[in-house]
Structure 1
C-alpha cells in the first residue's frame, strides 16, 4: 500500500470459507495478518454468521430502539463506564481517545456530542458486569435473541483468533488460551436521523474518531454507510469503509496492538455522514450497526507475543493485565 493512497478498496475482502473448511488455512491466515499489519481492518466473507441470523438481529435492534424512551430506560446503563450494560440514550456516552485525566475527559466530552443510542449485553453469568434487561414481559424474545447472537459471534471470534495465530506463526490455539472466559460485549447501535450540515461541520457527531480497546471487534452494518477509517500513513486522512453485502468488518483493538508490540495496527476510525449525499430535506438517514467487542480474559497479563520482539526490536510496553487496561478505557467513556 503506497503512502497517502488508502481508499475503500485498500481494505481487503477475504473469503474466510477456505479457513473454516480447512481447505487453505495458511493462505487465509496470512492475508488476514498482512491486512492487520498494514491497515488494521479487513472485510470477511463466509465468516460463519448466517445472513438470516444477522437480519433477525437487526430487526430486534430496530424493535428495541422503536420503543418509547420511558420503556428503553427500564434497562438503564449505570452512570459509570465500569459497568457497560443496558440502554444509553443519545448523548450519554462520549467516545474519547486515550484520555484518562478527569480534566481532559471533561474537555473532550464538551465537544460535539455523540448522537447515538445503544444497548449492550454480555454473557449472563458475568459477575463483574451483569446484564441489565427490560422487565419480564416487555419486548418478549429480545433477551433470548441477544444472548443467542452473543454466543454465535463468540464462535466466530474464536475462529478469527485461530487464523491470526497461524498468520503470526504461532500454534493455532495460542490466543484461545487467553480467551476462555468471554468478557465480550454485544452492542446494538442506532444513529437517529440528524441534519447533514451538523455532521459535516462537526457540530454534532455520530461517533468521533477513536480506536477500539480490546483484542478484536466484529462489526455488522446496515446499508446506510458512514464508517470511515484513518489512513495509517497519513494522520487525519480518512476514507470510507462502506457496507458490503454479506461482509463482516473485523478490526484489531489497542490491546492486541500492544500485545503484538505494535506489529498489528489498531486503526483510528469514526462514523460520520455517508460518503454519498443521501440526505432527504437536509437530514441524514438513520443508521443501525452491531459491533461485538472481544477482549482477553481479565486475568491475562499481556507481555509481547513471541516473534514480535527481539534485540533489534525491543519491547515497547510494560506488562499489563487485561482487566486493568480495559477498565481504564471504559471508565473514560461515561
Structure 2
C-alpha cells in the first residue's frame, strides 16, 4: 500500500474548506487511476485485485480521462443540489421520510438510527434516490421540487458511477477467471435493484461532545462510489490490534469500497471492510460535512451466495452454512434494522454486515 506521506504530498486541501490536519493517522489506501484501468493496464488490474482482497477500499483518480472528468463535473453540481435539498424545512423534508413509506428511498432525519451498542443515535440526515426511479425502471417516487429539477444531472451521475462499477466488476470477474459477464449480469443498469444515490449532511457537533455520526458498518451491496470533501470517514484496518484511522479526502478522486455482496459471492476472498463516520478532525470539525454516494447492489432477485466457476474462490467448508437470502431482503434487513422508528427493539449485532458478524469490533 502507498505510504501516508505520498498521499499527503498529492494535495493540501479543497479550496474554500479548512485543511485536513497532517498530524492525524490516515489509512494508506492504494491510489488507482481510472485512466489506466480504462487503458487495460495489467499492473493496475493487479493493484485493484490486491486492494479488493486486502481491505476492499481504494482511491480512484478520475482526472486525466474524459469519463472521470465528466463524473467529477456531475458530482460538483450535485453537491450544490444537496445543499439546497437540506436547506428545506424539516416539515417539507419529512413529507418524504422513507420510514412512512416502508422503503429505503427518501429522507432520513437526524437521530433516527442507533450508531453503537450503547444506544447513541446518529448525527446526520440523508436522502436516498432510487436508480430505478431515475432510469424509468419503476414508477416515479414523490420528491421535493429541487430533486425534480435535477433529475437529468442525477441520471448522468448515476450512469457515470454505474459505468465505473461495471468496469471494476469486469476486471475482478476476469481476475477470478469467472465466465465472462458473470458479475456484470448481476448488476444491470436497467434491472430492478436497490441501487441509489445518497445525499448526506452532517452538521458540526458540539465541541465538548464529538462522537460517531454514523455507526460502524459494512456496506450492503457490491460497490460504493463515494465523494466527500471533509474528513470524517474512518476505517478499521484488518488485524487484531488495528485502530480506527481517517480516510483523507482527495480532490479529483472518488473513494471506492466493496460491500457485503462481494464477500458472499467470493466466500470471503474479497473484503467488505468495516467503516464509520466520526466528527471531522481538527478545525474541520467546525464545518458542515456533505457527501455524495452511489451504492451499487445486486439485482433484487439475486441470491447472495458463493459463485461457481472460479478456482480462486474458497470452497464451502463442511461445517459452513450459506444463508439463503436474496439481495432485496438482505438490503432491507441491513438498511432498516437499526431504525428506532421502525424496530421496537433494535438488535445491533443482527443488523450487522458480513465482517461484523465474524470479528470482534473495537468501539
The verdict on a shared fold, with TM-score over 0.5 as the criterion, is yes
**Match runs of 1:4-19 below 5 Å:** 8=26, 10-19=28-37
Question: Is 1:56 matched with 2:77?
Answer: yes
Choose the corresponding residue for 1:35, options 51, 58, 82: 51
**Match runs of 1:181-192 below 5 Å:** 181=191, 182-192=193-203
CA contact (8 A) 1:95 1:210 kept: no
Question: Is 1:74 matched with 2:95?
Answer: yes
Q: Which residue of 2 aligns with 1:208?
A: 215
CA contact (8 A) 2:269 2:314 kept: no
Q: How far has the Cα of 1:145 moved from its partner?
A: 2.9
Q: Which residue of 2 aligns with 1:170?
A: 178
In structure 2, C-alpha distance between the alignment counterparts of 1:30 and 1:172, rounded to whole Å: 18
Choose the corresponding residue for 1:217, options 220, 224, 230: 224
In structure 2, C-alpha distance between the alignment counterparts of 1:131 and 1:152, rounded to whole Å: 22
CA contact (8 A) 1:18 1:28 kept: yes
CA 1:87–1:314 in 2, change beyond 3 Å: closer, same or farther? same
CA contact (8 A) 1:119 1:189 kept: yes
Listed as ranges, the gaps of 5+ residues in structure 2 are 2-24, 340-363
Q: Give SS of 1:198's match.
A: coil
In structure 1, C-alpha distance between the alignment counterparts of 2:94 and 2:203, rounded to whole Å: 17
Question: Is 1:254 matched with 2:265?
Answer: no
CA 1:171–1:88 in 2, change beyond 3 Å: closer, same or farther? same
Question: Is 1:115 matched with 2:120?
Answer: no
Q: Which moved more, 1:233-242 or 1:115-124?
A: 233-242
In structure 2, C-alpha distance between the alignment counterparts of 1:319 and 1:268, rounded to whole Å: 23
Question: Is 1:133 matched with 2:150?
Answer: no
CA contact (8 A) 1:61 1:188 kept: yes
Q: Give SS of 2:99's match.
A: coil
Q: CA RMSD in A?
A: 2.6
Question: Is 1:92 matched with 2:92?
Answer: no
CA contact (8 A) 1:16 1:28 kept: no
Choose the corresponding residue for 2:304, options 302, 306, 331: 302
Question: Is 1:46 matched with 2:62?
Answer: yes
CA contact (8 A) 2:115 2:213 kept: no
1:95-141 Cα shifts (integer Å, max 9, x gaps): 57xxxxxxxxxxx4x722111111111121454x963312xx56661
1:205-224 Cα shifts (integer Å, max 9, x gaps): 311111111111111112x2
Q: Give SS of 2:59's match.
A: strand
In structure 2, C-alpha distance between the alignment counterparts of 1:323 and 1:233, rounded to whole Å: 31
Q: How far has the Cα of 1:37 moved from its partner?
A: 0.9
Q: Which moved more, 1:323-332 or 1:289-298?
A: 323-332
Q: Which residue of 2 aligns with 1:264?
A: 270
Give the alignment's TM-score, normalised by structure 2. 0.75
CA 1:139–1:169 in 2, change beyond 3 Å: closer, same or farther? closer
CA contact (8 A) 1:85 1:121 kept: yes
Give the alignment's TM-score, normalised by structure 1. 0.81
CA 1:206–1:130 in 2, change beyond 3 Å: closer, same or farther? farther
Q: Which residue of 1 aligns with 2:337?
A: 332
1:52-103 Cα shifts (integer Å, max 9, x gaps): 21111111111111222223233332346x511112211123457xxxxxxx
Q: Which residue of 1 aligns with 2:13?
A: none
CA contact (8 A) 1:215 1:255 kept: yes
Q: How far has the Cα of 1:18 moved from its partner?
A: 1.8
Q: Which residue of 1 aligns with 2:361?
A: none
Choose the corresponding residue for 1:275, options 272, 281, 285: 281
Q: How many residues matched?
A: 302
